[in-house]
């Protein structure tokens, strides 16, 4: 019998179904019943079940890197400045910066370029486009669309070089801002909208929304509004929506499918990028990266390396909820640089998301957090993987990446909570905490009810972090250890690495699935100040299906060792101190917690 709590059949059946689903099936499985995000079945009783008799095969391998395609990359690194193509471009054919965006040339709305004769307000509105203060974009788009290119769900419009709805929709936005309403709303009826430059809803209390969207919606579902980003300049303006104006607040973006067709190679940008925006929300979004046919074939290593999915940056905070991001090259959700705030405000919530197939050549990760005051809950992140190109380092491929990336204090992750989320089948670790900065590291991080399974590396890998709590963590079937606390590295020996870490009731089993040689216990500790209260470790017990199949090589429970840290030639030997454990339960065939002899003595 389990020492800490009973595990019910209902919960595990739902969990196994998700684990066993292939990449293409994971979305429908996780979103059945039109529910966004990850919601495992709740426990319903305390009865014991013989789970070994369940008719559910459980023979997964950790997610490992497939051989990269030998197909030649059709897209080369562009020579600056990137050219603008199509009849909608400026006469110079070069996008030179934000002053050349279509919103600045629409002859309507806010004067952004220094002119004094630009019409504003109600003069932007098209007759019949406003109902009860809500502006419908169709009358604007129908005026500018060429013959034979009516708004519909027909994807053929994506490939036409004479369609650009950016200018028309920017007029609809300015019209909405002229309405005498508290909240200004622009409505997109079902259909496809081609954007050569991103929409810029840079006004407070503004909503952009389409028809209600289900997480089960197929690409181009005729009942949904799809924004297709075919950028005139993928290096500068690759995405569908960008907010980049200080002082903007309460912008809501909801109920869209988004197709991203290209991206930047030099400077990072995103499908939805929200900068300097307070209390803003992105919700009910399905975003997919799908290049146009003239860019195919495009194996992962050939994708534009600096395209993220949804980014909150430069002080932005608010909520990202009910989103699916699929196939974006770099980061599915990227939270960066909240420059102000206390323990509780401002705060960003990431809820009910599924991030999958993040697999480009640089820094690919499902969710990346380099800022403070973040809560992630009810999310599923899977199949992130690095495919390096042209000698680029294979760093990344993690499900969740929490890192201090530079010396700016505002980019130090602090007060980050991750609850009831599932990270599986990622090429790197399920959860990674790191820092390349000697005097910065993630602080006050709490993972609660997190599941990490079948990742190619570790379940949870902490290279840098202090005041870290891992509560009710399950980690199984990973390539190496279920949890690795790694203070050793090549930064100066005085660098801040792993500090106080507490694990409460972890369940760590059947890890070390890689065929490589090595010793990978359930929890490997190269650190000090570690407390483990309760928990279970096992390999073959007859209680869980994982134990019944005797998979993996995790024959040891907890192990701590001395370690060397510092740059080559200047390493310093450290010994673990204050390693405390209590009430751990060991299944048959699993050794007791112990410290090996220091190999450097």
Residue 72 predicted with pLDDT over 80: no
For β-strands 134-136 and 130-131, DSSP reports them as antiparallel
Q: For the segment 355-413, what is each residue's pLDDT rounded down to a tens digit?
A: 999 999 888 999 999 999 999 999 999 999 988 776 666 667 999 999 998 766 666 89
Residue 20 predicted with pLDDT over 90: no
Distance CA 320, CA 351 (A): 6
Q: What pTM value is reported for the model?
A: 0.88
Distance CA 171, CA 176 (A): 9
Distance CA 487, CA 528 (A): 9
How confident is the model at residue 496, as a pLDDT? 92
Mean pLDDT: which of 58-72, 436-450, 507-521 is highest?
436-450
Of 395-409, 458-472, 522-536, the poorest mean pLDDT is in 395-409
Burial class (CB in 10 A: 0-12, 13-18, 19+), 208: buried
Q: For the segment 226-260, what is each residue's pLDDT rounded down to a tens digit?
A: 999 999 888 878 899 999 888 999 999 999 999 99
Can you give the three-state secondary structure of 405-432, one letter per residue? CCCCHHHCCEEEEEECCEEECCCCCCEE
């Amino acid at each position: 019998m389990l020492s800490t709590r009973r595990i019910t059949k209902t919960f595990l059946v739902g969990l196994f179904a998700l684990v066993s689903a292939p990449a293409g099936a994971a979305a429908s499985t996780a979103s059945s019943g039109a529910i966004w995000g990850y919601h495992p079945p709740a426990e319903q009783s305390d009865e014991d079940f013989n789970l070994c008799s369940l008719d559910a095969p459980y023979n997964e391998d950790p997610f490992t890197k497939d051989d990269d395609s030998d197909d030649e990359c059709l897209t080369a690194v562009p020579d600056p400045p990137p050219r603008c193509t199509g009849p909608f471009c400026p006469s110079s054919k070069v996008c030179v910066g934000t002053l050349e965006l279509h919103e600045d040339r629409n002859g309507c709305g806010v004067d952004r370029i220094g002119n004094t004769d630009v019409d504003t307000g109600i003069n932007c509105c098209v007759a019949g486009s406003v109902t009860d203060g809500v502006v419908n974009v169709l009358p604007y788009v129908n005026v500018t669309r060429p013959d034979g290119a009516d708004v519909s769900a027909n994807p053929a419009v994506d490939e036409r070089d004479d369609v650009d709805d950016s200018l028309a929709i920017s007029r609809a936005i300015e019209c909405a801002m002229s309405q005498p309403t508290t909240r200004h709303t622009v409505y997109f009826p079902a259909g496809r909208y081609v954007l050569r430059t991103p929409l810029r809803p840079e006004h407070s209390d503004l909503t952009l929304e389409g028809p209600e969207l289900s997480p089960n919606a197929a690409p181009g579902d005729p009942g949904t509004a799809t924004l297709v980003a075919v950028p005139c300049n993928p290096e500068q303006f690759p995405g569908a929506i960008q907010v980049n104006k200080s002082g903007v607040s309460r912008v809501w973006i909801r109920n869209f499918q988004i197709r991203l067709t290209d991206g930047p190679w030099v400077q990072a940008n995103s499908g939805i990028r929200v900068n300097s925006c307070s209390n803003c929300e992105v919700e009910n979004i399905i975003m997919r990266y799908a290049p146009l046919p003239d860019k195919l074939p495009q194996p992962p290593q050939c994708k534009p390396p600096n395209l993220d999915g949804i980014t909150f940056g430069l002080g932005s905070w608010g909520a990202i909820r009910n989103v699916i991001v699929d196939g974006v090259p770099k980061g599915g959700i990227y939270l960066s640089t909240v420059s102000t705030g206390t323990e509780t405000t401002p705060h960003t919530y990431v809820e009910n998301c599924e991030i999958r197939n993040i697999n480009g050549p640089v820094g690919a990760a499902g969710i990346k957090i380099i800022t403070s005051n973040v809560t992630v809950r009810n999310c599923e992140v899977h199949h992130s993987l690095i495919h390096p190109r042209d000698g680029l380092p294979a760093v990344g491929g993690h499900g969740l990446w929490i890192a201090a990336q530079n010396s700016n204090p505002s980019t130090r992750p602090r007060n980050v909570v991750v609850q009831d989320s599932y990270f599986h089948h990622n090429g790197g670790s399920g959860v990674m905490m790191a820092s390349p900065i000697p005097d910065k590291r993630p602080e006050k991080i709490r993972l609660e009810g997190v599941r990490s399974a079948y990742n190619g590396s570790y379940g949870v890998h902490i290279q840098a972090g202090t005041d870290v709590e891992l509560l009710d963590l399950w980690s199984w079937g990973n390539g190496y250890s279920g949890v690795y606390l790694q203070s050793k590295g090549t930064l100066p020996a005085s660098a801040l690495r792993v500090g106080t870490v507490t694990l409460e009731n972890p369940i760590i089993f059947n890890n070390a699935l890689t065929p490589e040689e090595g010793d990978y216990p359930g929890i490997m500790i190269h650190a000090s100040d570690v407390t483990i209260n309760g928990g279970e470790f096992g390999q073959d017990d007859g209680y869980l299906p994982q134990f019944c199949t005797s998979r993996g090589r995790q024959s040891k429970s907890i192990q701590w060792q001395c370690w060397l840290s510092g740059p080559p030639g200047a390493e310093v030997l450290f010994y673990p101190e204050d390693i405390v454990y209590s009430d751990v339960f060991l299944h048959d065939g699993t050794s007791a917690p112990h410290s090996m002899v220091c190999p450097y003595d």
